[in-house]
Structure 1
Amino acid sequence: MKLTLALVFCTIFSAQSQDTIKYSNPLAEVRFNFFKNSVILFNEYLDTDAGSFNTTNFRLLYPIGKKTFLLRFDVPLISTNTPSVNKTGLGDLAVAASYIPYVKNKMGMAVRAKITSNSASDLNFGTGKWVFTPTFILGNYLGNHKKYLWFSAVEQQLSFAGDQNRNDINVSVFENTLLYFFGKNWFGIDTAIRYNYTIDGFQNTAFVEFGRKFSSDSMFYIHPSLGYGGAKSYNYGFELGVLILF
């Protein structure tokens, strides 16, 4: 599972006081800030019918230009634990570029293009394909107090090269996230409808999340998740992450 697929994964608060947070626009909130250099470290554990799958990911976010563009780099370390295979190695490296064409008052939109390389150190740690993923993101505050933020995203994952013996990647995703801000904390719920055309089945996911700022330049979050649908890729999962601004 690629968490918050349609969303730029970064957090920042602008504090009026210790307990009061001032917000500016939907694309500059918890998990969605384009204007800070950021490092994210997170670990995601997934339980599947064939065993466990663990990803430790290093993610770098780097704004460029007039800070309406953002570059993202992902370096995943994968571990599998099955009755026949217990391995650890490098997963598929990925790079993405995001752009905010519109932000006004309570509403904003962004687009993203991501390339995932066929670079895993082991067959079990990657798709065996080069994958292009375009994404469109729309964010909007609900109500006048800017405590509820709704995000919706549509994306398409398409493979265009790689191992001919591996399945092609062709997946459509429609994801919705609702965040609630209170003090230095946030709580979120998310559901993503994923249809995999290659296997002709749904691989949907859902999660809840709690996060908290614990210093001026660092935050953490936890979230449990589950997979559902006739062709779900995993049963349940748990992710823990830390974000550091620099």
Structure 2
Amino acid sequence: MNESLLILFFLIATATNAQGTVESKSPFSEPRYHYFLKTILLFNEYLDTDNGSFNTTQVRALVPIGDKAWNLRFDLPLISANTNSINKSGIGDVGMGVSYIPFMERQNGIALRARVYANSAADPNFGSGKWVVMPAVFYGKYMSGKKFLWIASLEYQASFAGSSERSDISVIAYENVLFHFFGKNWIAADVAFRYNSILEGFQNNAFLEFGRKITPTNLAYIHPSVAFGGNKTYNYGLEVGLLILF
């Protein structure tokens, strides 16, 4: 599956021309998916699990490069755990990625992304214990006269190095999110289906999101979620974030 996705990405990238100059009123120019401005995202996510809770405070930086069809991403997570066996904090698996927009117009667009997460957690329980690569493809489309934005994504997550004592990672994720923008606000609903081929089970989740532009360049959101599936990784969660665009 990993090789098939990489081939698909290559064919799309070479068969189309980048149109990174189409920045305004295009699917990936909306605040929540802004590819064309430097962005700092600060968020805190609380997850309830059967064994206790995990809290992640994360800093994410998005930096457009070149003709702005390309975008770099950096993630630095600080994780706190409160479980039967752990009650401490530390750095989780740090990551970086690159995105490319091979096709863009005012009504729809395609974006490609590849991420790599390092086996860098300060504690084995704060990370996967593996180096993980995550290629993905996105399709965004406006609907109903741009009152709604639909973004679908397909991502494959695979480990390629790391601790031999930790389970390998092989997950395929298909996600659909629908945004409705009105005034300075937005509301979103999402359902993500994730199949873990190592566990042979589903680790799905769904969320609602409520956001608002609080200044011309600052946006805030709240994001409750719930997990479902036979092998779900948590029960419910709550994320609160601040986006700074400049």
Task: Give the structure-1-normalised TM-score.
Answer: 0.89
Using the TM superposition, give the Cα deviation of residue 83 of structure 1 relative to its aligned residue in structure 2, in angstroms. 2.0
Using the TM superposition, give the Cα deviation of residue 107 of structure 1 relative to its aligned residue in structure 2, in angstroms. 0.6
Aligned to 1:13: none
* Distance in 2, Cα, partners of 1:222 & 1:143: 25
* Distance in 2, Cα, partners of 1:221 & 1:143: 24
* Distance in 2, Cα, partners of 1:140 & 1:81: 41
Aligned to 2:174: 174
* Distance in 2, Cα, partners of 1:77 & 1:106: 38
Aligned residues: 223
Aligned to 1:7: none
Equivalences for residues 43-54 of structure 1 within 5 A: 43-54=44-55
Equivalences for residues 1-246 of structure 1 within 5 A: 24-144=25-145, 146-246=146-246
Which amino acid in 1 is paired with 2:209?
Answer: E
SS in 2 for 1:31: helix
Q: Which whole-Å deviations, capped at 9, do the CAs of 1:12-67 have from their partners, x for residues lacking one? A: xxxxxxxxxxx611111131111111111000000000100110000011010011
Runs of 4+ aligned residues of structure 1 deviating over 3 Å after TM superposition are none
Percentage identity across aligned positions? Answer: 54
* Distance in 1, Cα, partners of 2:134 & 2:85: 32
Q: Which whole-Å deviations, capped at 9, do the CAs of 1:53-106 have from their partners, x for residues lacking one? A: 110000011010011100000000001001221010000000000000001120
| Aligned residues: CA RMSD | 0.7
* Distance in 1, Cα, partners of 2:155 & 2:129: 20
* Distance in 2, Cα, partners of 1:42 & 1:120: 19
- Give the structure with the larger strand fraction: 1
Which amino acid in 1 is paired with 2:88?
Answer: K
SS in 1 for 2:116: strand
SS in 2 for 1:92: coil
* Distance in 1, Cα, partners of 2:147 & 2:37: 22
* Distance in 2, Cα, partners of 1:84 & 1:66: 49
Which amino acid in 2 is paired with 1:228?
Answer: F
* Distance in 2, Cα, partners of 1:98 & 1:233: 27
* Distance in 2, Cα, partners of 1:215 & 1:142: 27
Which amino acid in 2 is paired with 1:225?
Answer: S
* Distance in 1, Cα, partners of 2:95 & 2:30: 24
Which amino acid in 2 is paired with 1:206?
Answer: A
Aligned to 2:16: none
Which amino acid in 2 is paired with 1:151?
Answer: I
